[in-house]
Structure 1
């Protein structure tokens, strides 16, 4: 027994001794150096992720991608500060520390495609400036500790010159995207657009865009001019509006359409007006940007914009062209809030970008060439290095690898910028401005090749889908969504399970755009106009005047689900797909994006939770869709105990009314398709521009495209005052 105890004690002592040795090894200088090198490499990888995938958020509604980008965006700042601290506090020296420190600082402002992850980050632009100052102080302390010898000074000189360029671009982009910056930047365009319509009254030609003096480019330099300079320049004529004079340097839509160069003239290199539409999207983005800044346009300006939308619709498949213009417009709007492009593409900034690349390449090549032999193991006995078995310095290899990767990242970033829509607008405006290019067909062909190259789509082009009867019994994982995880991730509610997204078809776009064209200039109706045209208003209009818009959507969604099960439309009937896809899309907005709908998000969440609770009690034990539909049909003619209709029974009742109609399945789907198309237009107007901008960074939403269109047209939704106030006295179900 004693021998067994001795053996056990021996094993324990060996284990403790081994653990002690491991802990000692972790505390050695070489272990600390390895940790620093690992952190520097990890930061470089995070930079690579932000550069490559930063702008992918608006093209992909993927939570995993957003989570990875958020982690990269957030961790990079902390890792840089922590690594600089390790270098400063290290008990040993390594002459590559200053190089790594400056590279870390360059990394801090390098991702032009992801200057901010969210709108809240834009408001923290002063915080970013303070971080730059504090981290730069840490680098300065490190340089003082090490001193700057001549070979090192040459390398560091070229790298240090890059720092203000990187810091300046990202800091300016955050400032301009902040609330304060937006107000300042939008002031000039708001004052100009308040009277632009007066200059073209009775003199509008939509074919040649005569009278449409919407600014494309040329006002940027004046935007950033201090207000005091203008006041000093014009003391005799004080004005509280900034004036923008349309000079030769200011490119307008009218000038683009009337350009006499081969590339843009009628019958030239832009037969389908795709290149002109790029400039149109950029110009319209500035007007939508005013809406995001709280500015409004006069009624006459909206009427003029509506004529432009009608003109786009009138040409062939006009709805396709109109939506493509809006797609590109929203991609520009995304860039204004979440990337450095508004700063990088200011006039004469390309030279600055090229200088930045040149300094980086020179500094990197000098670092690799001059110090390749200086960092071999034991080159300096007072320093700590890591090396392979054959004596090759790992420190030097890590430095060379990071520099090469960073150069490649910058070149890739430069390539993305060169083929970006911002570059296309810049090239087209230079073509319009430089008349010497008009007769040079080769220049026009080169610009056309660049501008028609589109590697990535502007947004996801999908409709989120949610089916209440298929997802009401969904229960999220208690392990993933609990009180412990609630502070870190957004919890998923009961019944909140998304269906497979549907492709945004041309039939859906055509139906919705046709409804939009039919709505103007009347006051938007909550689906009643389509019911009136189909002569079923007297039977079905009761389902359009419910207590909240959320209830209207859910009632019609349930009815559409019943009709889908009972009379599935033929493949050749586009109304079936329009109705079912829009029904599930609006239900999806209720469940996942209620801020984009008219109701208060709290009301929508409360109503949805109540419906899930009631539906689970009603359909308990019914596992198939057939059984669920049969139960709904049974309650379609019953009221609850208080003599009122619940949302579920109202949906079942509406479904029964549709099925018992005299028109047959084809007529049912015509009614539902036109109703849902009108309802899409009805929910589109919104004063919550912030919610739409936030969703641009999550793959975009179809309703945001409609919001842009109705915002240009000045279409508003009048509140239905006859609706009763929502009763919130009931408690949440357990």
Structure 2
């Protein structure tokens, strides 16, 4: 391989020697393939890091890294350090024997290791819940990696100028590790974060007990007038500051001083915020972001929902009734917005709540700790301390003489002395001239890209923190508790701009649903399109849950019988042990009806088709979100695919267009009149086709019926049905949550459940023994 000696003379002569030194480890082709492969791997890794930082805001949950990207990066980083350590030792041994200093190649590899360590936290979520901690093994592993890098820097790099540069990078790595460790450990042990769910369990239990026995200020909430605004003003759900109520831990939770709820300004409740906002309606904070109050309500509900996610005692019947009254008689009756926009307001509250829950468990940025105090400490005081440590490192490398250290940095680091832009320009002009220059250009570009990714990541973390919903909630709580802090025009102006940016970046009304049709062909969920949840669907779902909460006996959630009536011809298509089978049957019928009347456009058709495709997506790609066993749902879907392949043929199943697939399905299924359609031997595809033909019988699409039925099905699958269903909801949180996750939260708060299955009756041993004793007596 050419060593780069034929470089154009337009570049400084020293660059030729630099390229020769950088490529000397493979000019003799002894390990050329491994070094080239490493350069390519590092280029891909650097590009991935840079792109993740550049395009992270594409997702609404900007503080949460996509799980696929996290998996890929985690796998890459698990291979990175062993491989780089090996290549570092190889490059070190191939250096100049007459010099004890590292070769240029070894120093480049060491730079990559340090900068990638700085970027490591892009992959690691900040876990502040004790039950979700990975344990000390991962912390020790991370600490060992930082310590090993310190050994490589201070025991291998020679020359005060080089040690100063690499030592500064190592100080940054160590500081970021300590920062992440301190944040995690403090959050884990804090009553406001890690222990907050248990504290809220005690708070709600004692609050309800005080309400039952007439506890002063709590009694007023029981006698609150029915006005939606007054209900919210009387709400004592805590937003922030509940740790100030703790007197001491007890055998059954924390003992609290509930009297402080009314007297302590640091304890901020939903009622205090609503009352304060009515008084300060002209404040820029409320003018620039009208929904900031509802964000605080979402935050309070998120704290209550954490108890379910962390497997703490479930909400009592009394609590769900009180919460349901707040939601349906407060939020849904005009307490947050105009009554005609109540559906939008409810789903905005639910969306923000699930966003808080998602970021709490999966955030890679410290947004969970957002507050003015943390903002000052983490983004001003901590960087100042780190800068002092870096200067101290440079001073020690210069033996106490900062001027000598500065001169050494300029003379011993070629990229700095020559000039970064001069070196880059010269290499890019000649990178196709020789292989040596080409790979030198790649290596230098990788280094630049890693540094840019690190700088961008630091800036982006700052922006995500400042414009996050967490920070806005904290600012409003601070304003409610200490309004005198916001009297400064400068402070108020900053709040106004932050609030405006938060509103502009939030995409408040968009609730996207993946769309999938079994009559089309798709392998991956990432290739599916998304459509927003229609406003009419939001209103219908709100009313369905309100009806189920108000009258659970007369309006229980069903798979369709509540809409179609029991014993009717069409109700037979809802009578199945598997809700997945019901979904697929009605999905096929809806798809066939849509193809029959494609020119029809109405809100009911929009609701029916979008919810139909969304439910089909859940069956095919997210069976854990359905209320039945995952394996059973997967079996139903596989049987449906086999039946569809039999009807279409192999070539038609994989290659035919959606229109041709629909026609062929219609032709392959015999016509059956509705009274005689009950045939238990039909498969799902045949049932759906027969139902679709029946719906076409009147010459027009009955979209109102279908829209109501799909609302009923979506409401039916939302409530929790055990640990497996809860696990599926928790898995969906890493993606920001699904529509059914929001409805699951609503059902949890309001106590809406499905009727127990009648097919399986379980009798406990204790009940049998009690019955035997009673009969013997």
TM-score in terms of structure 1 length: 0.75
Residue 563 (str. 1) matches residue 593 (str. 2): yes
> Unaligned 5+ residue runs, structure 2?
1-23, 96-100, 212-217, 395-404, 418-422, 431-436, 763-777
Structure 2 residue corresponding to 1:211, chosen from 227, 234, 246: 234
**CA, structure 1 residues 356+497, in 2 after alignment: closer, same or farther (shift >3 Å)?**
closer
Which residue number in structure 1 is paired with residue 558 of structure 2? Answer: 525
* Alpha-carbon distance change, 653 to 612 in structure 1, aligned in 2, over 3 angstroms: same
Asked if structure 1 preserves the Cα contact closer than 8 Å seen for 2:647 and 2:665, the reply is: no
Distance 1:364 1:338 in 2: 31
Aligned pairs for 1:34-433 within 5 A: 45-53=47-55, 56=58, 67-87=68-88, 90-91=92-93, 92=95, 93-94=101-102, 104=113, 107-108=116-117, 110=119, 114-116=123-125, 124-146=134-156, 159-171=169-181, 184-197=195-208, 198-199=210-211, 200-201=218-219, 202-204=222-224, 206-208=228-230, 209-219=232-242, 230=248, 238-245=250-257, 246=261, 247-259=264-276, 263=280, 269-270=286-287, 273-295=290-312, 296-310=314-328, 311-315=330-334, 316=338, 317-339=341-363, 340-341=365-366, 344-345=369-370, 348-350=373-375, 351-358=377-384, 371-376=409-414, 403=451, 406-433=454-481
Change (3 A) 1:513 1:152: same
Q: Secondary structure at the match of 2:531?
A: strand
* Pairing 1:617-636 to 2, within 5 Å after superposition: 617-620=646-649, 624=660, 625-632=662-669, 634=671
Cα distance, 1:292 vs. partner? 0.6
Map 1:416-565; keep pairs closer than 5 Å: 416-437=464-485, 439=487, 443-453=491-501, 454-457=504-507, 461-471=511-521, 500-521=529-550, 522=552, 523-532=556-565, 538-565=568-595
The CA distance in 2 between the partners of 1:54 and 1:107, in whole Å, is: 18
Q: 1:515 to 1:114 in 2, by over 3 A?
A: farther
Residue 238 of structure 2 contacts residue 270 of structure 2 at CA under 8 Å; is this kept in 1? yes
Structure 1 residue ranges without an equivalent (≥5): 1-20, 224-228, 232-237, 380-384, 477-491, 726-734
In structure 2, the CA distance between the partners of 1:120 and 1:210, relative to structure 1 (3 Å rule), is closer
CA gap 1:175/1:665 in 2 versus in 1, 3 angstroms: farther
The verdict on how the C-alpha distance between 1:641 and 1:190 changes in structure 2, with shifts beyond 3 A counting, is closer
Equivalence map 1:643-654=2 (5 Å): 644-654=681-691
Q: Retained in 1: the 8 A contact 2:718–2:741?
A: yes
Decide which moves more: 153-162 or 615-624.
Answer: 153-162
Any idea what the Cα deviations from partners look like across 1:189-216, whole Å, max 9, x if unmatched?
2222223334435144641423322222
CA distance in structure 2 between the aligned counterparts of 1:665 and 1:266, rounded to whole angstroms = 54
Aligned-pair CA distance for 1:47? 4.1
Measured after TM superposition, the shift of residue 590 of structure 1 is: 0.7
What is the distance in 2 between the residues matched to 1:467 and 1:287?
36
CA RMSD between the two structures: 4.8
Question: Secondary structure at the residue paired with 2:470?
Answer: helix
After superposition, the Cα gap between the structure-2 partners of 1:71 and 1:514, relative to the gap in structure 1 and judged at 3 Å, is same
Q: Residue 180 and residue 590 in structure 1: after superposition, are their counterparts in 2 closer, same or farther (change >3 A)?
A: farther
The equivalent of 2:700 in structure 1 is 665
Q: Following TM superposition, by how much is the alpha carbon of 1:336 offset from its aligned partner in structure 2, in angstroms?
A: 1.0
Within 5 A, what are the aligned runs for 1:567-578?
567-568=597-598, 570-571=600-601, 573-578=602-607
Asked if the contact 2:367–2:465 (Cα under 8 Å) also holds between the matched residues in 1, the reply is no
Report how many residues are paired. 657
TM-aligned CA deviation for residue 537 of structure 1: 6.0
Change in Cα spacing, 1:336 to 1:109, as seen in structure 2 (3 Å) is farther
Q: CA deviation at 1:672?
A: 0.9
Question: Aligned in 2, Cα 1:641/1:575: closer, same or farther, shift over 3 Å?
Answer: closer
* 2:719 aligned residue (681, 685, 702): 685
Structure 1 position 398, deviation (Å): 8.0
Aligned counterparts of 1:158 and 1:52: Cα–Cα separation in 2: 26
The answer to whether the 8 A contact 1:263-1:444 is kept is no
TM-score normalised by L of structure 2: 0.72
- Residue 734 (structure 2) aligns with: 697
